[in-house]
Structure 1
Amino acid sequence: MSKLIDLSHTVEDGLVTYKGLPAPIICDYLSREASKSHYEEGTSFQIGKIEMCSNTGTYIDSPFHRYVDGNDLSELPLESVAHLDGVKITIPDAILAIDDSYFFNLELTDKAVLIETNWSRHWNTDLYYEHHPYLTESAATYLKSKGVSLVGIDSHNIDDTRGGARPVHSTLLGADILIVEHMCNLQSLPDKGFYFYAVPVKIKGFGTFPVRTFAQLTEQKN
Structure 2
Amino acid sequence: MTFVELSHPITDGMVTYPGLPGPAIREHTSRAASTAHLADGVSFAIHGIDMVANTGTYLDTPYHYHQDGADLAALPPERLVDVPIAVVRAVDAPSVGAALLGDPGRLWGHAVLVETGWSRRWGTPGYLTGSPYLTGDAARALIDANVALVGIDALNIDDVTDPARPVHNGLLGAGIPIVEHLTNLAALPDDGARLTAVPPPVRGMATFPIRALARL
TM-score by length of 2: 0.97
> Per-residue CA shift, 1:131-166, capped at 9, x if unaligned?
001000011011111111100000000001123221
Matched residues in 2 for 1:164 and 1:56: separation? 21
Whether 1:103 and 2:104 are equivalent positions in the alignment is no
1:99 Cα deviation from its structure 2 partner: 0.6
Q: What residue is the counterpart of 1:151 in the other structure? A: 150
> Per-residue CA shift, 1:59-92, capped at 9, x if unaligned?
1111011111100010012211001111101113
1:207 Cα deviation from its structure 2 partner: 1.0
Look up the equivalent residue of 2:98 and give its one-letter code.
D
Q: What residue is the counterpart of 2:90 in the other structure? A: 91
Matched residues in 1 for 2:195 and 2:90: separation? 19
Matches within 5 A, 1:32-43: 32-43=31-42
Paired residues, what number?
Answer: 215
> Per-residue CA shift, 1:106-131, capped at 9, x if unaligned?
41111100000010000011000100
3-state DSSP of counterpart to 1:60? strand
Matches within 5 A, 1:8-23: 8-23=7-22
1:104 Cα deviation from its structure 2 partner: 2.9
- Unpaired runs of 5+ in structure 2? none
3-state DSSP of counterpart to 2:107? coil
1:189 Cα deviation from its structure 2 partner: 0.1
Whether 1:137 and 2:121 are equivalent positions in the alignment is no
Look up the equivalent residue of 2:79 and give its one-letter code.
S
Matched residues in 2 for 1:105 and 1:186: separation? 20
Matches within 5 A, 1:41-80: 41-80=40-79
1:38 Cα deviation from its structure 2 partner: 2.0
Matches within 5 A, 1:110-125: 110-125=109-124
Matched residues in 1 for 2:66 and 2:76: separation? 18
3-state DSSP of counterpart to 2:170? helix
Look up the equivalent residue of 2:206 and give its one-letter code.
G
1:41 Cα deviation from its structure 2 partner: 2.5
Q: What residue is the counterpart of 2:173 in the other structure? A: 174
Matched residues in 2 for 1:102 and 1:70: separation? 29
- Unpaired runs of 5+ in structure 1? 218-222
State the 4+ residue runs in structure 1 displaced beyond 6 angstroms: none
